[in-house]
Chain A
């Protein structure tokens, strides 16, 4: 039989146990991977957040140096060796990304092509600061595209590799951030962190949930700093957006952005932004770029080829094209809501 003498100590122990600090979302900002990184963790341990931010910052900076497209480092050395045509041993920090890049280029039917680093350099996007000078001549762009650099030109045999095409120059910027954020989130999990968002320059992966509610994410409007739409995340998902408002320059009143169409060598013009949700951050990152280049005409086909079920495209007129699975999760935050066209991914 339960007596007061036994019950009261148990109640007191339970009440005192509740006196530990309440878990909250704590956020740390840092500069890493060449951008602003925001780490939000749901915990009562603020010191853990600082330590996690320090560890993640170091990891991301290491990856950024290894995969930098125009500064000396493992990727720069790889590009030098690929240009010789001779066989060499791949750098272990670069090899997994080359294999992933080959898969992504093939799955996107060439609309995402990390071998076109020379094209980005020609447009002046290889640099922290782009002076506002004229875009490259059409003849220069044509000449470069005629060399047809492709990830398929890289022959990989174990850790040995060579390129059949000296024009191949790797620029992993289209998916390295996604790959890096995925690695950093794995590191967070190793630190025992179960509920967090890692946002690197606007692209993010979320794990767990903050208490008994999901994470709430705002998606930026391509025309302003405001929020176009929102969605909720719970579990383990990545959200990546490619937009024409990111890296760009204006010349003679015309805006030239950094999402280049491998078919024309010029900025893709059939979209303003594309948002993708997927478990794999590298694939989500690349898919946002590929679907931007694909535009509304090939949106469904490229989404299906890449295995993307949740994607949204804002076209130049402000209309929204999205998959039914994305539409179930998107809530527009601006009134009136834009016109929406639903498109099922299909080859």
Chain B
């Protein structure tokens, strides 16, 4: 093996190390929170995907009327929605990844995006 071969081997090892950090390293929590988004589904399609760091009021039309989604202070909530029981509004402010509010009569789902790190993969109820 010549010196040149050795140099190639060292460079390749460094490249592997950098690739490991890039693709297998733990995600930066700071970055994850900085890019946190709320996704609004209407029926079977995505209606909007908005950053939580920008205040907004969104009106989502559905079969039962209008669902109003409010984004403020890094959180989102279902401010108003058709339905006699107010289930969507009762979900309150959504802040953490996986938090969601649903209006089944209006077929609207509001969820905070991001990987959830709870102890369970799924909840049975």
Q: Pick from B1, B107, B119: contact of A31, CB below 8 A.
A: B107
Please determine whether A19 and B19 come into contact, CB atoms closer than 8 angstroms.
yes
Please determine whether B84 and A129 come into contact, CB atoms closer than 8 angstroms.
yes
Complex interface: chain A residues within 8 A of B124 (CB): 199, 202-204, 217-220, 239-241, 275
Complex interface: chain B residues within 8 A of A190 (CB): none
- Report the bound CA distance from A240 to B124 in whole Å: 7
Closest to B105 in A: A128
Please determine whether A32 and B44 come into contact, CB atoms closer than 8 angstroms.
yes
List A residues 4-29 near B (Cβ within 8 Å): 4-5, 8, 12, 15-16, 18-22, 24-27, 29
Please determine whether A227 and B109 come into contact, CB atoms closer than 8 angstroms.
no
Q: Pick from B84, B111, B115, B120 the residue with the most CB of A within 10 Å.
A: B120
Residue B83 at the chain A interface, CB threshold 8 Å = yes
Please determine whether B1 and A218 come into contact, CB atoms closer than 8 angstroms.
no
Residue B123 at the chain A interface, CB threshold 8 Å = yes
Given contacts A22-B23, A131-B84, contact A220 B125 (CB under 8 A): yes
Closest to A220 in B: B125
Given contacts A4-B1, A5-B1, A12-B12, contact A202 B123 (CB under 8 A): yes
Residue B28 at the chain A interface, CB threshold 8 Å = no
List B residues 50-104 near A (Cβ within 8 Å): 83-85, 100, 102, 104
B interface residues, how many (CB within 8 angstroms) = 32
Given contacts A12-B16, A58-B44, contact A129 B123 (CB under 8 A): no
Please determine whether B1 and A220 come into contact, CB atoms closer than 8 angstroms.
no
Please determine whether A204 and B122 come into contact, CB atoms closer than 8 angstroms.
yes
CB distance from B96 to the nearest CB of A (A): 14
Complex interface: chain B residues within 8 A of A275 (CB): 124
- Report the bound CA distance from A165 to B121 in whole Å: 46
Complex interface: chain A residues within 8 A of B107 (CB): 31
Residue A30 at the chain B interface, CB threshold 8 Å = yes
Q: Pick from A21, A227, A240: contact of B120, CB below 8 A.
A: A227
CB distance from B86 to the nearest CB of A (A): 11
Complex interface: chain B residues within 8 A of A128 (CB): 104-105
CB distance from A276 to the nearest CB of B (A): 10
- Report the bound CA distance from A38 to B12 in whole Å: 41
Please determine whether A16 and B9 come into contact, CB atoms closer than 8 angstroms.
no
Complex interface: chain A residues within 8 A of B33 (CB): none
Complex interface: chain A residues within 8 A of B23 (CB): 19-22
Given contacts A5-B1, A12-B12, contact A35 B125 (CB under 8 A): no
Closest to B102 in A: A36
- Report the bound CA distance from A227 to B123 in whole Å: 8
CB distance from B38 to the nearest CB of A (A): 12
Please determine whether B41 and A19 come into contact, CB atoms closer than 8 angstroms.
no
- Report the bound CA distance from A246 to B87 in whole Å: 12
Please determine whether B116 and A27 come into contact, CB atoms closer than 8 angstroms.
yes
Closest to A44 in B: B23
List B residues 1-29 near A (Cβ within 8 Å): 1, 9, 12-13, 16, 19-20, 23-24
Complex interface: chain A residues within 8 A of B12 (CB): 12, 16
Complex interface: chain A residues within 8 A of B109 (CB): 29-31, 36
- Report the bound CA distance from A330 to B69 in whole Å: 39
Please determine whether B44 and A218 come into contact, CB atoms closer than 8 angstroms.
no
Residue A34 at the chain B interface, CB threshold 8 Å = yes
Given contacts A29-B100, A128-B104, contact A210 B125 (CB under 8 A): no
Please determine whether A34 and B104 come into contact, CB atoms closer than 8 angstroms.
yes
Closest to B97 in A: A27
Please determine whether B125 and A30 come into contact, CB atoms closer than 8 angstroms.
no
Please determine whether A219 and B104 come into contact, CB atoms closer than 8 angstroms.
no
Closest to B39 in A: A29
Complex interface: chain B residues within 8 A of A206 (CB): 122
CB distance from B124 to the nearest CB of A (A): 5
Given contacts A129-B105, A220-B124, 12 further A-B contacts (CB under 8 A): A12-B12, A16-B12, A18-B20, A19-B16, A22-B23, A31-B107, A36-B100, A38-B122, A128-B105, A197-B121, A199-B124, A202-B125
**A-B CB contact pairs (8 Å), 5 listed:** A5-B1, A8-B9, A21-B23, A36-B102, A218-B124
